[in-house]
């Protein structure tokens, strides 16, 4: 297996990275009261030392009283939390890496198992996080305007702290995705609608505000998924035409890179072609894309949450698609959560040393 092509540099605006390996954003809940600790900084530094090209942070929440359901998820606002992030990016840069925060509003959530709840009710397009499950309030237009401004402020702060790019979390059933999905967006005003392009208005306004706050030269990524945790097989866009009608306005609003979340990168997005989500997004928009989903592992990440282990697996199929030009970057989640040296081992061809993934790794910040 020759992985040389994955170790070519990539540049786009503010983003200059030494290879094509991206650490996927992974919530770790090790930031008490929302403040990333020195251990969190060291955890990311170790991945940069292990040759990851671009690190995307765990989801880090914007300045809204109910943007999070977990007291240990990091904030991306407030003096203390931003000082914590300053330590993170300084460490990553010292180790030769690049990084962007994944800015996040969870939207309407189930209550966290810890029992912690935010000071005000969760908020979303229609107060539900899946059909029939009301656990929050329906956002007013003024709530929407405030959330858009908070996304913009977080992006501006990312640039100010020296991050290399920013990623907007628009996937996995959280706030932005709650607007996209007809199952959670029942609005009858101009933020709702029968079609996906109509329900994309909120995302487009978030992207425009982010772009306005960071300027033209700062790389802006959006993470999207067709699936929802409440609907694994969901397709927001059921055809390439629908996908084009969804993604083109997002690109026009200011997106540079589409981060196309799948559980298994090898699964075709539509019939009659083996292209995956990232492959289609690149073909339809001409933008750079990131693929993700069980890279180098035998089982997927929902299995991990159900306590399943995964073994290291071949990168041949990934390389076949990458070398064909389907996508520009490759995000790796659990393999890097468990092993900071994963990228270096792949680069040096030490495949026999790849560890796979064990759920025990979720309970700690693995440093070695
Ligand atoms: C512990 C854990 C936490 C995650 N948290 C996030 C998150 O905060 N934001 C996000 O977009 N995806 C999150 N994901 C999904 C990953 O970014 C990634 O898409 C998924 O794990 C598939 O990649 P993998 O198969 O290489 O692990 C998380 C996954 C795991 C395992």
Residue 297 is classified by DSSP as: B
Pocket probe mutation, ligand 1, options 27, 59, 333, max atoms within 8 Å of Cβ: 333
Q: What is the pLDDT along the chain (368 residues), one digit of tens a residue?
A: 799 999 999 999 999 999 999 999 999 999 999 999 999 999 999 999 999 999 999 999 999 999 999 999 999 999 999 999 999 999 999 999 999 999 999 999 999 999 999 999 999 999 999 999 999 999 999 999 999 999 999 999 999 999 999 999 999 999 999 999 999 999 999 999 999 999 999 999 999 999 999 999 999 999 999 999 888 999 999 999 999 999 999 999 999 999 999 999 999 999 999 999 999 999 999 999 999 999 999 998 988 999 999 999 999 999 999 999 999 999 999 999 999 999 999 999 999 999 999 999 999 999 99
Which positions are annotated as active-site residues?
174
Q: In the chain, what is the greatest distance between 2 CA atoms, to the nearest angstrom?
A: 56
Q: Pocket of ligand 1, candidates 22, 24, 59: which has the most ligand atoms within 8 Å of its Cβ, to mutate?
A: 24
Contacts of 269 (CB under 8 A, 6+ apart): 226, 243, 275, 276, 277, 279, 280
Protein residue with its CA nearest to atom 14 in ligand 1: 26
How far does residue 187's CA lie from ligand 1's centre (Å)?
A: 29
Closest CA to 206 of 280, 105, 291: 105
The answer to whether the CB of 174 falls within 8 A of the CB of 184 is no
- Protein residue with its CA nearest to atom 5 in ligand 1: 26
Which protein residues touch ligand 1 with a CB less than 6 Å away?
A: 24-27, 58-59, 102, 169, 171-172, 223, 261, 292-295, 297, 300-301, 304, 332-335, 362
- Comparing CA positions, the residue from 226, 180, 235 lying closest to residue 203 is 180
């Amino acid at each position: 297996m020759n992985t040389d092509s994955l170790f070519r540099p990539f540049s786009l605006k503010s983003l200059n990275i030494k290879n094509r390996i991206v650490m996927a954003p992974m919530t770790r809940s090790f930031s008490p009261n929302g403040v990333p600790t020195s251990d969190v900084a060291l955890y990311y530094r170790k991945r940069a030392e292990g040759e990851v090209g671009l690190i995307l942070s765990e989801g880090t929440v914007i300045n809204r009283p109910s943007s999070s359901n977990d007291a240990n998820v990091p904030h991306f606002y407030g003096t203390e939390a931003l000082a914590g992030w300053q330590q993170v990016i300084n460490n990553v840069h010292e180790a030769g890496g690049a990084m962007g925060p994944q800015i996040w509003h969870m939207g309407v959530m189930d209550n966290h198992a810890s029992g912690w709840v935010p000071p005000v009710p969760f908020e979303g397009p229609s107060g539900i996080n899946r059909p029939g499950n009301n656990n929050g309030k329906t956002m007013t237009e003024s709530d929407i305007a405030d959330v858009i401004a908070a996304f913009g402020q977080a992006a501006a702060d990312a640039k100010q702290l020296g991050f290399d790019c920013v990623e907007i979390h628009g996937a996995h059933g959280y706030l932005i995705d709650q607007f996209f999905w007809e199952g959670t967006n029942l609005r009858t005003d101009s933020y709702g609608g029968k079609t996906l392009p109509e329900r994309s208005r909120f995302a487009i306004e978030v992207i425009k505000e982010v772009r306005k706050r960071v300027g033209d030269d700062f790389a802006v990524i959006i993470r999207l998924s067709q699936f929802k945790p409440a609907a694994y097989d969901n397709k927001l866009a059921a055809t390439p035409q629908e996908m084009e009608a969804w993604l083109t306005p997002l690109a026009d609003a200011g997106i540079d890179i589409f981060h196309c979340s799948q559980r298994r990168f090898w699964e075709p997005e539509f019939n009659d072609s083996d292209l995956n989500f990232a492959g289609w997004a690149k073909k339809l928009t001409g933008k750079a894309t990131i693929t993700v989903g069980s890279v180098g592992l035998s089982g997927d990440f929902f299995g991990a949450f159900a306590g399943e282990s995964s073994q290291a697996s071949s990168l041949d199929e990934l390389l076949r698609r990458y070398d064909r030009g389907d996508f520009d970057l490759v995000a790796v989640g659990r393999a890097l959560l468990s092993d900071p040296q994963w990228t270096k081992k792949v680069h040096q061809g030490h495949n026999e040393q790849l560890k796979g993934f064990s759920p025990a790794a979720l309970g700690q910040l693995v440093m070695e």
